[in-house]
Amino acid sequence: MTTPEAVMRDALAAVRRALARPGLPSSDHELAPALPPPGDQPRRAAGVLVAIQPGPRGPEVVLTKRSSRLRHHPGQIAFPGGKVDPGDADAVAAALREAEEEIGLARDNVEVLGTMPAHETVTGFVVTPVLGRIRAAFTPVPEAGEVAEVFAVPLAHLADPAHYRMEQRQWLGVPRPYWVVPFGPYYIWGATARMLKALADRMAEDAHRG
């Protein structure tokens, strides 16, 4: 009988192998070249934490639902994370700091597994996904006013490219195609879904070759 610990160990090994594969940065403009570029303003570095923990459905990825009161991206599904501040050493440090501030996940409770190539958003952020294992169970504490909900999605669901589809809506007067990976009541889309799809593609390629 396969134990939950063995399932978690195998999943983390698959993630590490996926992270070891070479890759190229991605951009929201790949699917929507007609969108206006961010312009001449400097791109802003950011880091997000793709945190993996054991759960009742196997390994899970922790996500947040942003508060509906926020000015930018209200109600959307996102990773914990944010822009790199002057006090952050790099995007990894920013992701860990923001996760601690947004959901109460102590940075020393995260084992960093590695990073994926950055993703550039239409809003001018260059976002580095930081993959990490949550060392010990924690009780999420959503940051008041910013995070409406903290929830988890099975890694097996997010790692399956078949669960992704492309949709489209009008943005700034032009069609904007984007990836979505719905799960139950949660509509995961945009840059979050694109970064998850990049991980899913890497894991699927590794499984195919293996």
What is the reported pLDDT for 101? 96
CA–CA gap between residue 33 and residue 30 (Å, rounded): 6
Of 203, 191, 156, 189, the residue nearest 60 (C-alpha): 156
The residues spanned by each domain of the chain are 4-23+42-209
Q: Which long-range contacts (CB under 8 A, 24 or more apart) does 163-167 make?
A: 163/200, 164/193, 164/197, 164/200, 166/31
CATH 3.90.79.10 fits 4-23+42-209, yes or no: yes
Question: Which DSSP letter does residue 80 get?
Answer: S
Sign of the torsion formed by the C-alpha atoms of 19, 21, 27 and 32: negative
Mean pLDDT per 10-residue run, the chain (210 residues)?
A: 90 95 85 65 90 96 82 77 96 98 97 96 91 96 90 97 91 80 95 96 77
Q: For residue 153, what is the enclosing H or E element?
A: strand 147-154
Query: What token pair was written down for 202?
Result: 């890497």
